[in-house]
Structure 1
């Protein structure tokens, strides 16, 4: 089956998709945790993590120039290693998105009910309304879905930019930037931050809807990682100037906001809610595209690849994903599964890096060596080693849970293959 999606996403929109995927509610907690672990070196932990993330991003960029179909990591692995490994990566990518979307939706509702206590008894209703709004918006066209992502990407940056400006230029008390933490665990801080960079891959998934995917994927991913690294470093620096004891704050950016002006803590709370909504709006756009890509290639039931012709959107994949997220969020099931997220994401990154190496070597003919230098293969190889090393640091529980999730996916894959053969 051929893709029937519209190529309308431009490079700046892809960049916003990546930025929105990385900068979520986590940054409102990170400065305290990083300061506690790294102490005076906290700001440099962001730089170290950013460099590692950029190596992984370069692998995505390299393979994104070769494979320009919808699906991101899934189609990269499929192109390099075949249908079954490709499905494994795609399935785990979708599982990661679904669990993260459920967790973030519950987090968003918690912020909303804190800001508006009268809504506390309507949490389940709020979950359904939020998910229905996002699914409906994305069903009406990728430009509408991306429009929401762009708006909330900009909106979430405003309170964070205000904190940076206030902390670096307007702070009236001059504290030394010590970080306030005991330090001594720089490596632990770097690992924490590498996981916080997750989500940049959203910029690669809707390649089939990009006007120039070969250019847009690279700029979207590398631009996201480079920009976010600088932004995170400035947030850490400003936060520590505003609150020298930020390492011990339960809500570090709200504590820093309180030091800015009266009502600053509320501004940061609203900013956290906006940031989370922006992130899930990006997940609502990208996660169904993974399911669509899997179905399009008959790895899952073909009904999931159904397109709503007036808007050329994968409407069945959108609503199936949204309903599953709603069930997980309302039932609380995601809390028992969320630790699969990191292991699945590292598996995905490692496979993409290996795919970039294999596809890069495949294209390294004497005639092509001038236009496709070997550096892409070398960088991707480094990324593969780094992600594999990080994967070995995961707990046995997380690895076993991820393996179980993969086994469930492979069982569904096997059933879909049997059904396809019986029809043919």
Structure 2
């Protein structure tokens, strides 16, 4: 095995990277909000979203099996629909990755303030945010091997408290708390609103294929890892909601830290502290994943000349120095703006700019590029991709006008940049 191969992510490291990229703050904070929207029937919203996300993830799995380069949704859209659509998807992926990472950095400070209130006060807030962004940027600059080790350790550290919570918490569920399932009656609009909210907890899987070039045998390992990651996360999410509803009942709707409050009800203060620490590790871990994956979106664009090619160049430690530097530089002012709620809302809606083109790319690539044989072949095409697109459009329709304008309106910023690069002869 060569040194280059040793420095890359192996299969189980890819799986851990995927879990780290999906399990973040959402699962620790959303159960109470879902309960408030729809009641105990919120557990079925998780089942519904599992089916939705799995259809999208399966589309990513087929496309990931056809390519072994960085970029993910950008690469698939470019190959299927041409350079301009590919650029729009790619620039969205990079921009939203930066915004999402900035929001996660602010989210860590917010979570930390629950146990250390001064974290939200200056100069502590700015210092912590700068330490997270610059520190993780330096970590990635120093090499993939170091990032891989840190990612693996943090992912294990965040998953263990959740597994402890769901396995032992299942014995304390009071099934009487599940009746009535829908206290206000079943309403499709409320169900859709809850689904869009919960969808946030599932996002992040699409970023896994962005760094394909830093992985061993990505055409085989990525499809398998995607399916394993989403299967694992879906089971954990469903059980977390079930335990939270079963232990807190109606009080869950009033909780701002539902998993921690549920752990307190089951295990006492020690359980609450364990989950709180797990929350901090979880949000810290998703920052690690974002810091590694986000710059690779810029690398993919630069490799095709859609942004300056220098951004794709590797530095002393065989990592994309300029892509990492630019990503950190842009993330800092966004994070210091402190608008966590708005940034999170933008990142949710904007993800569909990657999901819809990728689902459609499955159909187009089979006809346009039959020579691209992947490791995984999605069954029931075109039914599954089309179903994923229809449900995605339905979910976006449940967002507010402001969320849609901020989330999808950002694509307009890529238009002048594309034609500027075209005029410069780089595209």
1:62 is matched with which residue? 62
1:71 and 1:290 in contact (8 A); partners too: yes
Decide which moves more: 206-215 or 274-283.
206-215
Distance 1:338 1:27, change over 3 A: closer
2:385 is matched with which residue? 380
2:193 and 2:399 in contact (8 A); partners too: no
C-alpha displacement of 1:48: 1.1
2:193 and 2:398 in contact (8 A); partners too: no
1:359 is matched with which residue? 365
TM-score (norm 1): 0.89
TM-score (norm 2): 0.89
Determine if the alignment matches structure 1 residue 103 to structure 2 residue 103.
yes
Q: Structure 2: how far apart are the matches of 1:179 and 1:101?
A: 39
C-alpha displacement of 1:5: 10
1:217 is matched with which residue? 222
Q: Tell me the secondary structure at the aligned position of residue 319 of structure 2.
A: coil
C-alpha displacement of 1:377: 4.1
Distance 1:299 1:201, change over 3 A: same
1:38 and 1:189 in contact (8 A); partners too: yes
Determine if the alignment matches structure 1 residue 257 to structure 2 residue 263.
yes
Q: Structure 2: how far apart are the matches of 1:49 and 1:58?
A: 14
C-alpha displacement of 1:399: 3.0
Q: Structure 2: how far apart are the matches of 1:374 and 1:47?
A: 21
Runs of 4+ in structure 1 deviating by more than 6 angstroms, as ranges, are 4-7
Q: Structure 2: how far apart are the matches of 1:372 and 1:289?
A: 26
Q: Deviations over 1:64-86 (max 9, x none)?
A: 11222111111111111111100
Decide which moves more: 74-83 or 40-49.
40-49
Q: Deviations over 1:27-86 (max 9, x none)?
A: 111211222233232222211110111000111011111222111111111111111100
Q: Structure 1: how far apart are the matches of 2:379 and 2:243?
A: 40
2:68 and 2:219 in contact (8 A); partners too: yes
Distance 1:361 1:5, change over 3 A: farther
Q: Deviations over 1:186-227 (max 9, x none)?
A: 343233222321111122111112211112221221111111
> What pairs up with 1:180-199 in 2 under 5 angstroms?
182=183, 184=186, 185-199=190-204
Q: Deviations over 1:212-252 (max 9, x none)?
A: 11122212211111111111111112222322221222221
Q: Tell me the secondary structure at the aligned position of residue 104 of structure 2.
A: helix
2:89 is matched with which residue? 89
Determine if the alignment matches structure 1 residue 285 to structure 2 residue 292.
yes
- Of residues 328, 332, 345, the one that matches 2:334 is 328
1:6 and 1:312 in contact (8 A); partners too: no
> What pairs up with 1:331-410 in 2 under 5 angstroms?
331-332=337-338, 337-363=343-369, 375-410=380-415
Determine if the alignment matches structure 1 residue 38 to structure 2 residue 43.
no
2:28 and 2:258 in contact (8 A); partners too: yes
Determine if the alignment matches structure 1 residue 161 to structure 2 residue 160.
no
Q: Structure 1: how far apart are the matches of 2:269 and 2:378?
A: 55
Q: Deviations over 1:69-114 (max 9, x none)?
A: 1111111111111111001001111222111111111111122244
1:63 and 1:360 in contact (8 A); partners too: no
Q: Deviations over 1:322-349 (max 9, x none)?
A: 1211111113366655433223211210
Q: Structure 1: how far apart are the matches of 2:18 and 2:113?
A: 28
1:266 is matched with which residue? 273
Q: Structure 2: how far apart are the matches of 1:401 and 1:5?
A: 41
2:311 is matched with which residue? 304
Where does the alignment leave 5 or more consecutive residues of structure 1 unmatched?
Answer: none
Instruction: Say how many residue pairs are matched.
Output: 414
Q: Structure 2: how far apart are the matches of 1:192 and 1:328?
A: 23
C-alpha displacement of 1:351: 0.6
C-alpha displacement of 1:142: 1.7
C-alpha displacement of 1:383: 1.9
1:357 and 1:381 in contact (8 A); partners too: no
Q: Structure 1: how far apart are the matches of 2:271 and 2:413?
A: 46
Distance 1:118 1:402, change over 3 A: closer
2:325 is matched with which residue? 319
Distance 1:186 1:348, change over 3 A: same
